[in-house]
Amino acid sequence: MISLKVPHHGNPWTLDIDSAWIAWLTFDLKGEKVNVFNEHALAELEMMLDQLHADERIKALVLTSGKRDSFIAGADIEELAKIKDDEDARAKSQAGQTVFEKIATMPVPTVAAIHGACMGGGLEMALACDYRLVTDHPKTILALPEVNLGILPGWGGTQRLPQLIGLAMALPMILGGKNIPGKKAYRMGLADGIIAEAFVRQQGADFVERVLTRSGRAKVMKRRAKSQSRVMKMLQANPLGRAIIYRQSLKQVLKKTNGNYPAPLKALKVVQKTFRRRPIDQGLVLEATYFSKLACTPISRNLVNLFQASQRAKKAGAPDVKLELRSGGVLGAGLMGAGIASAMSRAGMAVRLKDISWEALGKGLSTIAKGYKGRVKRRRMTQGEMDQAMLRVAPTIDFTGFANLDIVVEAVIENMDLKVKVLRELEDSVGPDTIICTNTSSLPLNDLAAIMKRPKRFIGLHFFNPVDRMPLVEIVPCKKTSKETILAAVQLVKDMGKIPVVVGDCPGFLVNRILIPYLVESAWMFEEGIDIERLDSLLEQFGMPMGPMALVDEVGIDVGYKAAKTLESAYGDRMNVPSALDEVAESGDLLGKKNGKGFYIYEKKSKKPNERVYRLIEEARRRDGISPRDIPDGDVIDRAILIMVNEAARCLEEHVVDDPEALDIAMVMGTGFAPFRGGLLRYADERGVREIMHRLEEFEQKYGERFKPARLIEKVAKSGGRFYSNN
């Protein structure tokens, strides 16, 4: 082995040249868990490439990663966040394009040997290579997720990907940030070979040896050409066919985003203007231009801020403390309990799953297996990993094996008496150091802590349903909960791959306390005569993932109504539930999507407004003394959204959370609040807190006490400040 030493201190690239004169260039960014392209890494890569260009002895170049389970995660988000203006953005785009063009113009074959996540700029670098190899490991994922940050691929991705795999397969990756597992990448021609993780070097060298021959190159090109269907080749070969593909792509983007996210629309324009119309040098200029127009927009700033905030939340807890949670227990094998047990098992923990009958446990295990099968189907785990995960879950109808568990989560139904009974039994069955958590969305934690013999090790967790899809978990310490218990709960949530947010104990905690007023206010507007579909449509256009009435149906009218009444009891008139919700909830059989009848009627994959609900509303209006009235679109949106801003301000006042960023992350991850707006309080800051206060005062005059501005809103408005700068 010949090793080329580069005399530049701190170079993240290591170059080794083997006896066959194959250059192996390995990226290993020191002190980081994953490789990202920062200015220094790009500059060093360019220097190495210049040296390789000048060395006539080199026969091939292979690019690899020194990280265990990651190739390259993309560009450094910190540098993206610091882009000053359009010209700075254009310069950063052109810098990456220039370096990758040096890979594309190497006089010898170039190969990217990919194991693990290959994202954004990492994939753009791989696209600049002549060939790509992927490992067969589930962690090998290829994607261009830039649109999720409000930008587009700016280092050649919009140019090289469509040329490589065709429009039909490239556009979903560019416009939607779609993840492609390694094996699928091979089938679609994005990768040219599959290699084993343990034999990257050996099998990579074998591949290089093949493509150094004319017959080997021809074989790769023939297989790559076959990956595109004949129909798609014909479509993209003529302007009319391409127009059909572009039109369908635009339709899908608008359906998914309601036009609120400009990045996929701009990316589509770049592809339209360049694919088979301009040489790559001109295409790269256009790509850099559109990148620069997006990078400094408020939407991109908001999405980047959210990404950074989520990364900080994932690192919550003491950075110097890593607790080893090897075993856990779950009480209750229903949907919630099964979801929690599944997440524990997936994190590598041995899990005891307890319920009162083997029948209930059988259903719980079936739920877990179904979730795992879905992950195998989506290539998020292998069949072998699923089998091992299932073996880690041990069902039981008693407390056998609980004495030595590290942590236990009680997840029985939301009933105070039952939880008290179960928690008392549990505490008598575990060891003195076992952490006990209760999963609840509304019950007062300090009341439950009062019945515990060791309240220091007791804490509340609020998982959101469905557990396998919802990333947020609210962690709710009680008055006597120890710091060690909080850290253990945070560690459990992090081990599960979820985002922990520590919140104070109050009715509704954080997310539901802010969300329920939004749903209740929407019910008030429905009672005042706003059509269900118009109401939902307006809030979806604002950026909510679904309208409020559809959301109540999704959650379950019975569940949502119970939560609303709980908060009404706790907070009084400002959360007064309208008779419209009473009438629908007390009808007896309108439960929402789960039984096909709610504010909408659900049939197969379609839904339509439920006329019966409109008939019920007449009685509600008589009770509340309301006559139907027309409400402007702006008022509909402001009443629903600003009542949440107002409650969020109260949560900051009362220290339910101390940080606006934590609140915004919780609302985005827990409710899907419009990510492009950066979160509820960032939206308030950008709109102007003073303007929001005036709107609340206007609504207070019209609709009553529930819109009275919170003290913090008045304070921030009068100072001309912002929630983020005020904190």
Residue 322 has pLDDT above 80, yes or no: no
Lowest mean pLDDT segment, chosen from 41-50, 67-76, 165-174, 230-239: 230-239
The pLDDT tens digits for 274-297 are 999 999 999 999 999 999 999 999
User: What is the percent of the chain with per-residue pLDDT over 90, rounded to a whole number?
Assistant: 85
The confidence score (pLDDT) of residue 320 equals 54
The predicted pLDDT at position 237 comes to 86
- pTM recorded for the entire structure: 0.90
Numbered ranges of CATH 3.90.226.10 in the chain:
2-296
Integer Cα distance of 670 and 242 in angstroms: 39
Q: What is the pLDDT of residues 436-460, one digit of tens each?
A: 999 998 888 999 999 999 999 999 9
d(CA 470, CA 133): 33
Using only the alpha carbons of the chain, give its radius of gyration: 28
Q: How far apart are CA 685 and CA 676, in angstroms?
A: 14
Kindly report, as residue ranges, where domains of CATH 3.40.50.720 are found in the chain. 327-502
Q: Return the pLDDT at 209.
A: 96
Please give the average per-residue pLDDT across 418-438, as a whole number.
Answer: 95
Q: What is the pLDDT of residue 6?
A: 45
pLDDT tens, 622-655? Answer: 888 888 989 999 999 999 999 999 999 999 999 9
Average of per-residue pLDDT values in the chain:
93
pLDDT at 317: 65
DSSP states of 465-527 as a string? SSTTT--EEEEEE-TT--HHHHHHHHHHHHHTT-EEEE---STTTTHHHHHHHHHHHHHHHHH
On the question of pLDDT at 8 being above 90, the answer is no
Tens of pLDDT, residue by residue over 526-543, are 999 999 999 999 999 999
Handedness of CA 494, 498, 502, 507 (dihedral sign): negative
Report the alpha-carbon distance of residue 183 to residue 191 in Å, rounded: 8
Predicted local distance difference test score (pLDDT) of residue 726: 54
pLDDT exceeds 50 at position 1? no
Q: What is the pLDDT of residue 66?
A: 95
Among the CATH numbers 3.30.450.20, 1.10.1040.50, 3.30.980.10, 2.30.30.40, which is that of 511-726?
1.10.1040.50
Closest CA to 29 of 95, 75, 60, 61: 75
SS3 label, residue 155: coil
128 near 107, Cβ under 8 Å?
no
Q: Looking at the predicted structure, is the pLDDT value of residue 316 above 80?
A: no
Residue with tokens 């066919």: 241
What is the rounded CA–CA span in Å between residue 558 and residue 71?
A: 47
Domain 2-296 has CATH 3.20.20.70: no
Q: In this predicted model, what pLDDT tens digit does every residue of 662-694 receive, in sequence order?
A: 999 999 999 999 999 999 999 999 999 999 999
Place of tokens 């635009």: 250
Residue 694 annotated as catalytic = no
- Given a cut of 70, whether residue 699 has pLDDT beyond it is yes
pLDDT at residue number 318: 55
Q: How confident is the model at residue 298 (pLDDT cuts 50, 70, 90)?
A: very high
- 432 by Cβ neighbours in 10 Å (0-12 / 13-18 / 19+) ranks as exposed
Q: What is the CATH number of domain 327-502?
A: 3.40.50.720
pLDDT in the model for residue 321:
57
Helix or strand holding residue 67 (H, E): none
Out of 53, 137, 462, 655, the active site residue is 462
Q: How confident is the model at residue 147, as a pLDDT?
A: 97
Give the per-residue pLDDT at 86: 95
* pLDDT of 17 over the 50 cut: yes
Mean pLDDT of 565-592: 91
Residue 2 is predicted with a pLDDT of 47
Please give the pLDDT value at position 627: 87
According to CATH, where is 1.10.1040.50 located in the chain? 511-726
Q: Which residues pair with 70 in a beta bridge?
A: 117
DSSP structure string for 75-118: B-HHHHHT--SHHHHHHHHHHHHHHHHHHHT-SS-EEEEE-SEE
* Segment 185-205 mean pLDDT: 95
Per-residue confidence band for 160, with pLDDT thresholds at 50, 70 and 90:
very high
| Angle (CA) 8 12 15, round 5° | 80
Residue 7, pLDDT > 80, answer: no
Q: How confident is the model at residue 567 (pLDDT cuts 50, 70, 90)?
A: very high
DSSP 8-state assignment for residue 431: -
